Amino acid sequence: MTPTQEVLLQPVSDGDAPLIQQVYQASPKHFERIAMEMPGLADVEREVEAILADPNRRAYLIFDKSGPVGYLDYKLHYPDRADAIITLILIAEPFRGLGYGRRAVSDLEAMLHHDVERLFAAVYGDNPGAVAFWEKLGYRFLKDGAPSVSWYYKRLRRA
């Protein structure tokens, strides 16, 4: 596969749980790294319900022309009113290193630019690849959280 920058962020809606689970199943190393069992379809369906019920939470499936290649989940107005935090960006293992994550984050930054001063990213567990990803995108280390999360941020606009 050749590197790409062509992605489509499609808002998650009812019925998307099987597509999200498809991304999860193509990402077993992610779940190993965070010491979490692979979510079943019922778990993902409940997660979609929670996303759709929370007015500040957003999630997108990341598509290329072949289908879903990733998943992006973030929350507005957290940790402060003018902020947002990316709680998960997951590119399926066969598609990693091809620019999908970079492009998805770039598109999200452009979407949020007028509404968000700072965009945070949470890195769970010992994940040097995720740290390098965020740093390449211009995010700076902010702090270690508990029990095993580090926070990075990027200023999108001035207050």
Domain boundaries, the chain: 8-155
Secondary structure of residue 84 in the 3-state scheme: strand
- In the sheet that holds 140-145, the strands lie side by side as 8-11, 57-64, 67-76, 83-91, 118-124, 149-155, 140-145
Structure tokens at 146: 């508990």
pLDDT of residue 124: 85
The predicted model gives 51-66 an average pLDDT of: 96
pTM of the predicted protein model: 0.91
pLDDT of residue 146: 66
* CA triple 20-122-101, angle to 5 deg: 50
Give the whole-angstrom CA distance, residue 116 versus residue 90: 22
Residues 6+ apart with CB under 8 A from 11: 58, 59, 60
Residues 6+ apart with CB under 8 A from 67: none
pLDDT of residue 2: 46
pLDDT of residue 159: 64
The predicted model gives 68-80 an average pLDDT of: 96
Confidence band for 33, pLDDT divided at 50, 70 and 90? confident
Nearest to 105 by CA among 147, 135, 145: 135
Residue 104 has pLDDT above 70, yes or no: yes
What is the Cα 138 distance to its own chain's centre?
16
Secondary structure of residue 49 in the 3-state scheme: helix
pLDDT of residue 102: 96
Q: What is the end-to-end Cα distance of the chain in Å, rounded? A: 41
Confidence band for 1, pLDDT divided at 50, 70 and 90? very low
pLDDT of residue 127: 85
Residue 46 has pLDDT above 50, yes or no: yes
Q: Superfamily for 8-155?
A: Gcn5-related N-acetyltransferase (GNAT) (3.40.630.30)
The predicted model gives 103-112 an average pLDDT of: 96
